[in-house]
A and B are shown apart, each in its own frame.
Chain A
Amino acid sequence: MFGFMTFLLMFGLWITMSGKFDLFHLALGVISSAIVAMISGDLLFQDRQKGFGYRLLQAGRFVQYAVWLVAQIIYANMYVLKLALTTKKMDQVLDPYIFSFKPHLKTPFAQFVLANSITLTPGTVTIRIEDGVFLVHAITGPAAGDLEDSDVINGMERRVAAVFEPEILHQIEAGK
Chain B
Amino acid sequence: MSMYLNTIVVLFTGIGWIFFLGATVGILRFPDFYTRMHAAGKGDTLSTMMILFGFAAYQLHHPDLASLLVAFKIVFIAVLIFITGPTATHAIMDAGYGSKIDHWGTRDGSVSHCLIKEDERS
Contacts and interface: CB of A to CB of B under 8 A. Distances in A.
Main secondary structure of the interface of B (DSSP, over half): helix
Contacts, number: 117
Interface in A63-103: 73-74, 76-77, 80-81, 83-85, 90-91, 94-98, 100
Given A94-B106, A98-B120, A115-B90, A120 B45 contact: yes
Interface residues of B, number: 46
A135 B86 CA distance: 15
Contacts of B14: none
Contact of A81 (B18, B45, B76, B116): B18
Contact of A125 (B41, B106, B111): B41
Contacts of A32: none
Contacts of B3: none
B31 A19 contact: no
Interface of A: 16-17, 19, 73-74, 76-77, 80-81, 83-85, 90-91, 94-98, 100, 115-116, 119-120, 123, 125-128, 130, 135, 137, 139
Interface of B: 18-19, 21-23, 25-26, 29-32, 34-35, 37-39, 41-43, 45-47, 65-66, 69, 72-73, 76, 83, 86-87, 89-90, 93-94, 97-98, 103-107, 111, 116, 120, 122
14 contacts: A16-B76, A73-B46, A77-B47, A80-B42, A81-B26, A84-B23, A94-B106, A95-B106, A96-B105, A116-B90, A125-B90, A127-B34, A127-B90, A135-B97
